[in-house]
Amino acid sequence: MAQSSPYDFDIYQPRNPKASAYYKCIENHFEELEQAWDDMYKSRYGYWRTYVMIQGEI
């Protein structure tokens, strides 16, 4: 017996990262994140990479 699925796996459905809650949060608070990075995240994740700022502007 074949199981039904809510997804149609025969049709490619590309991701839409801009629709995610994570993307919207970063987009809405990007300037705050950039300013707070050194104090809050540098020790754990490293220095602020300029390509992140370039990607954020696209």
Structure token digits, residue 20: 């995610």
DSSP label at residue 7? S
* Residue at 36 is within a domain: yes
* Residue at 52 is within a domain: yes
* Residue at 27 is within a domain: yes
Please check whether residue 42 is in contact with residue 48, taking contact to mean a CB–CB distance below 8 angstroms: yes
pLDDT digits (tens, 9 = 90+) for 44-53: 989 888 765 5
* Residue at 7 is within a domain: no
* Residue at 2 is within a domain: no
- Please give the Cα distance from 10 to 36 (Å, whole number): 44
pLDDT digits (tens, 9 = 90+) for 12-31: 888 898 999 998 998 899 88
* Residue at 3 is within a domain: no
* Residue at 46 is within a domain: yes
- Which domain covers residue 38, as residue numbers? 17-57
Q: How many domains does the chain have?
A: 1
* Residue at 30 is within a domain: yes
Strands (E), 1-58: none
Neighbours of 33 (CB within 10 A): 16
DSSP label at residue 49? P
